[in-house]
Amino acid sequence: MPAFSLAALTVLELAPPALIDVAAACGYDAVGIRLLPTMPGAIAYPLMDDAATLKETLARLDATGIRVADLEVVALRPETDIAAFSAFFETGARLGAEHILVAAYDPDLGRFVDRYAAFCEAAAPYGLTADLEFMPWTYVPDLATASRIVAPMAQANAGILVDALHFDRSRSSVAELGTVPVPRLHYWQLCDGPAERPATTEALIDAARHERMFPGEGGIDLVALARAMPADITISIEVPTVGLARTMGARDRARRALDAARNVIARARDGG
């Protein structure tokens, strides 16, 4: 089995120390930590500005053996200043993080590419990859667009982040995925969703951020996707279930997500 990481969004109510404890108790190998919000006022845990919680987080990592797979969420916008990420990078290095999730919120793709390249260059000395997540509502809406940006980049730490839900909703294909250079795939995100795609952008965003399905319980062909992905990269299990969270605690949801993900990957490997 590959390494499995508990994505921040699966149990976003947990601050990093508690997130790490839940991951360890459930049998995960790693966690993702949301240092920056998806939008102003959204939940995030900016450890670069909270020395006490950062210290506690480092202690929990040391005590449990859990590692930090990725940091979230860097939204590159027209006004983004790359120099402002110094503390973010430094905190990531202290955490031993490996990857950074990057999203494209700049309508000028030429400008975005330049800024993304600069971000990759700034992250590289800290041992961090910068993984561009394509999402249908962003300016990099699908795998084909992400590949056109990332594949030719000179920065070795530039990567493409495949999220199973966005992969399906953007109508990207396994054939397209086969053309992506393997070194550009550093980790990927696993979840499920209904076979029927949302009819509006608003519904698409709401489902992605709040109501996904556990792997294997929806209508996305996760087995085919898993077979197309490199077998040895970390799988981040990202399953926000806001409705279920009203009646089921974070640990039980995290354990259910991991069990479901393992079943999908086992089926992919066994030919089922």
pLDDT band of residue 263 (cuts 50, 70, 90) is very high
CA 20 to chain centre: 16
Task: Give the CATH number for residue 84.
Answer: 3.20.20.150
Nearest residue to 66 (alpha-carbon basis) of 23, 15, 3: 23
What proportion of the chain, given as a percentage, has pLDDT over 90?
97
Provide the residue type at 172 as one letter.
S
Residue-level pLDDT at 167: 98
CB 264, CB 190: distance < 8 Å: yes
Task: Supply the angle between the helices 16-26 and 51-64 in degrees, to the nearest 10.
Answer: 10
Domain that holds residue 180: 4-270
How many residues would you count in the chain? 272
Q: Is 80 exceeded by the pLDDT of residue 1?
A: no
Residue-level pLDDT at 40: 85
> Residue by residue, what is the 3-state secondary structure of 106-166?
CCCHHHHHHHHHHHHHHHHHHCCEEEEECCCCCCCCCHHHHHHHHCCCCCCCEEEEEEHHH
Q: Per-residue pLDDT tens for 174-221? A: 999 999 999 999 999 999 999 999 989 999 999 999 999 999 999 999
Residue-level pLDDT at 38: 87
CB 50, CB 86: distance < 8 Å: no
CA distance 89 to 10: 23
Q: Per-residue pLDDT tens for 230-247? A: 999 999 999 999 999 999
Question: How many independent structural domains does the chain possess?
Answer: 1
Q: Which two tokens stand for residue 61?
A: 């990592």
**For residue 211, what are the β-bridge partners?**
241
Q: Is 247 helix (H, G, I), strand (E, B) or coil?
A: coil
Strands, E assignment, the chain: 4-6, 30-34, 67-76, 99-104, 129-133, 158-163, 187-190, 234-237
